[in-house]
Amino acid sequence: MATILAIESSCDETSASVCRDGAILSNYIANQSVHEKYGGVVPELASRAHMQNIVPVVDVAIKQAGISLSEIDAVAFTQAPGLIGSLLVGSQFAKSLALALDKPLIAVHHMQAHVLANLIQQPAPAFPFLCLTVSGGHTQIVLAKSPLELEVIGESIDDAAGEAFDKSAKLLGLPYPGGPLIDKYAKEGNPLAFKFAEPQIPGLNFSFSGLKTSVLYFLQAETKKDPDFIANNVKDLCASVQHTIVSILIKKLTKAVKETGVTRVCIAGGVSANSGLRNTLEETGKRKGWQTYIPKFEYCTDNAAMIAITAYYKYLAGEFAGLDVSASARSEW
């Protein structure tokens, strides 16, 4: 039996989870509201909040799992990528605890964990499967051949899908993070009301920086004619922006299915909470005969349960880290 305590602190959520033989016993997440008034995550404030949160968050996760510290067989943490100050809080805590308990340490890559979040719930996808990981920092298509054999076959060459949502929302005067608000207003808008150009990027890579510029120029031209243009059209604008982002994502995913022949398709990351993306993935999957998998919302956004499940497979494979392992902001796998 393997009981693993996992810690996630790569950005602005402090989270801890306990997993026993691949089953999640707890997944506690503390959000940081301190960033709201700044319109984005402030790295220094994030590190400080992690320092305040880490001990109580781990405590809650252990209690909710109904175990004691002495039952832990390994301590896992997010090693990379992320904000370096935030990662350091989690990694130093995990190392100290592993040392104190004299248990092995497991270093986990945050983006691999987003993909493996799809293994938490049943029925889980069989291997191989494709995963579209869409978050505030990354947009990737990953070919998962086995739990520890993950290959990035496409990614964004500039902004992430979440950034495209958040930056467009900012242009529309919506508060940060604007993704969920675009989703909300889009439900009552016409997705075909306005047309924004989709980038022509070869292969399976994405580009989202052009969309922001295209929305900006369009809004500038329209508000010159009618200063209330945004206020009068916010629902249609949100629906049209969302439609464009979802269309870019689904087209590349369809291409990836064609190129790999793999028809088990998952999504992961904060943007996979988007109702337009979820509906379009389901519809497209039904039409094309794919098996689609969408994790529960708490496993889509940043959480320690995905770190714990990944650590479980590393534990089985004997992939442990030394106490000299260091956190890294960079995203190389």
For binding to Zn ion (CB under 5 A), which residues are involved? Answer: 135, 302
Q: Does 285 bind ligand KG4 (CB under 6 A)?
A: no
Residues 96 and 159: their CA atoms lie apart, in Å, by 36
In this structure, is the dihedral angle defined by the CA atoms of residues 188, 190, 195 and 199, taken in order, positive or negative? positive
Longest dimension (CA), the chain: 69
If DSSP codes are grouped into helix, strand and coil, which group holds residue 96? Answer: helix
Q: Does 302 bind ligand KG4 (CB under 6 A)?
A: yes
- 308 Cβ contact list (under 8 Å, min separation 6): 4, 5, 6, 17, 18, 19, 24, 27, 76
Among 165, 194, 196, 293, binds ligand KG4 (CB under 6 A): 165
Q: Does 273 bind ligand KG4 (CB under 6 A)?
A: yes
**Could you tell me the smallest distance in angstroms from the CB atom of residue 90 to Zn ion?**
13
Residue sitting closest to ligand KG4 (CB): 270
DSSP state of 124: P
**Could you tell me the smallest distance in angstroms from the CB atom of residue 18 to ligand KG4?**
21
| Choice between 262 and 308, CB closer to ligand KG4 | 308
| Choice between 166 and 236, CB closer to ligand KG4 | 166
Q: Does 159 bind ligand KG4 (CB under 6 A)?
A: no
Inter-residue contact 159 to 131 (CB < 8 Å)? no
Count of helices and strands (H, E) across the chain = 10, 10
* Count of residues interacting with ligand KG4 (CB under 6 A): 19
Q: Within its chain, how far is the Cα of 311 from the centroid?
A: 17
Among 214, 274, 292, 310, binds ligand KG4 (CB under 6 A): 274
| Choice between 86 and 240, CB closer to Zn ion | 86
Residues 276 and 186: their CA atoms lie apart, in Å, by 8
**Could you tell me the smallest distance in angstroms from the CB atom of residue 229 to Zn ion?**
34
When CB distances are held under 5 to 8 angstroms depending on the partner's kind, the choice from Zn ion, ligand KG4, none that residue 180 binds is: ligand KG4
| Choice between 183 and 236, CB closer to ligand KG4 | 183
Residues belonging to the chain: 333
Residues 105-144 that bind ligand KG4 (CB under 6 A): 135-137
Residues 169-228 that bind ligand KG4 (CB under 6 A): 177, 179-180, 182-183
When CB distances are held under 5 to 8 angstroms depending on the partner's kind, the choice from ligand KG4, Zn ion, none that residue 159 binds is: none
H-helix or E-strand spanning residue 129: strand 129-134
Q: Does 270 bind ligand KG4 (CB under 6 A)?
A: yes
**Could you tell me the smallest distance in angstroms from the CB atom of residue 41 to ligand KG4?**
9
Q: Which residues of 272-284 are buried (b: 16+ CB within 10 A; e: fewer)?
A: bbbebbbebbeeb
Tokens of 49: 């909040």
The torsion defined by the Cα of 7, 8, 9 and 10, in degrees rounded to 10, comes to 140
| Choice between 65 and 111, CB closer to ligand KG4 | 111
Binding region for ligand KG4 (CB under 6 A) = 11, 135-137, 162, 165-166, 177, 179-180, 182-183, 269-271, 273-274, 301-302
